[in-house]
Amino acid sequence: MEQTKRKIIIDCDPGHDDAIAILLAAGSPNIDLRAITTVAGNAEVEKTAINALKVCEIAGLKDIPVARGAAGPLTRKRETAPSIHGESGMEGPSLPIPRQTLVKDHAVDVIIEELLSSKGDITLVPVGPLTNIALAMRKEPLIIPKIKEIVLMGGGMSGNWTPAAEFNIFVDPEAANIVFESGVPITMAGLELTHQAVTTPEIIEQIQAISNPVSEFVVELLQYFSKTYKDEFGFSGAPIHDACAVAYCIDPTVFTTKKLRVDIETKGEFTSGMTVIDINGVTGREPNVNVAMELDKEKFWNMLINALKHYSQAI
């Protein structure tokens, strides 16, 4: 009996690791990638939308709609990450001019339409700020019970943009608060999990050995991304944050998780954007998030390498 593919929408801000997340999803036989929606985050939304199209061009993904979404947070000043991803949001590789164009509809409307027309079997995979998801929930609350699950990259028990806050949540904590309070089942791949997915020279060699245009593109992404992570944070390689969320959609056993209470700090002077994780159950509040704790590294890297090999057959 043929396995049912998991339907997902990736909401992203490409971004080196966003690009790899898209390629992992599209290269997996277990995933039905329904749409790619983009948001301001790693770069301005005009750039992240074009970057998503460029990834689709390189990978030959002609039938996946790409939609541009929110240009900034719900209430705050926009913040981007050129020190990590460069001015374009995806510096390093030589990128083609995409032939595919953005769909006319706003990303929020694409998300709403896909969910309303679904059987409640679509998983949202936001790997950037949660602005588009929050806007969709506010515009059409009927989508909330139609979301199978939200598998997001964001948050953590410590920060990477401030001492307390991870970038995606910090950029738009008000949006994150709407999503985390929605009642939708949430699995959160925070920094504790994604920092276990750090590329090594051996992994880059394995990807290089695949030797197709997509794997070569990924090597160039990783080389640039590894350098900025070494320069900014002292990491030995690049953590592929966003691909972790997609990996969980392919095979949930890639994570070990724990159901915990997570609240979003929106007012703290030093802690705005913090995901307050009640790891010890001290509040007595009902757990609301499936928090990823441990990554099966071998399974994760095998997933990615096998997905990239798919593009050798597709070309």
Give me the mean pLDDT over the 106-135 stretch. 98
Domain ranges of the chain: 6-314
Please report, for residues 117, 124, 218, the alpha-carbon distance to residue 146 in angstroms, rounded to integers and kept in the order given: 9, 11, 34
What pLDDT digit, counting tens, does each position of 36-52 carry?
999 999 999 999 999 99
Between CA 13 and CA 180 the distance in angstroms is 20
pTM for the model stands at 0.96
| Length of the chain in terms of residues written | 315
What pLDDT digit, counting tens, does each position of 262-278 carry?
999 999 999 999 999 99
Task: Specify whether 310 is catalytic.
Answer: no
Between CA 107 and CA 201 the distance in angstroms is 37
What would the CATH number be for the domain defined by 6-314? 3.90.245.10
Judge whether residue 1 has pLDDT over 60: no
List 85, 106, 241, 310, catalytic entry: 241
Judge whether residue 26 has pLDDT over 60: yes
Between CA 118 and CA 115 the distance in angstroms is 5
For residue 209, report the phi and psi dihedrals to the nearest 5 degrees.
Answer: -70, -20
- Determine the pLDDT at residue 3: 64
Judge whether residue 315 has pLDDT over 50: no
- Determine the pLDDT at residue 231: 87
Q: Please, what is the angle between helix 297-314 and helix 213-233, to 10°?
A: 140
Give yes or no for a cis peptide into 15 (omega within 30° of 0): yes
- Determine the pLDDT at residue 233: 86
- Determine the pLDDT at residue 95: 86
List for the chain the helix, strand, coil content (%; round to 5): 45, 15, 40
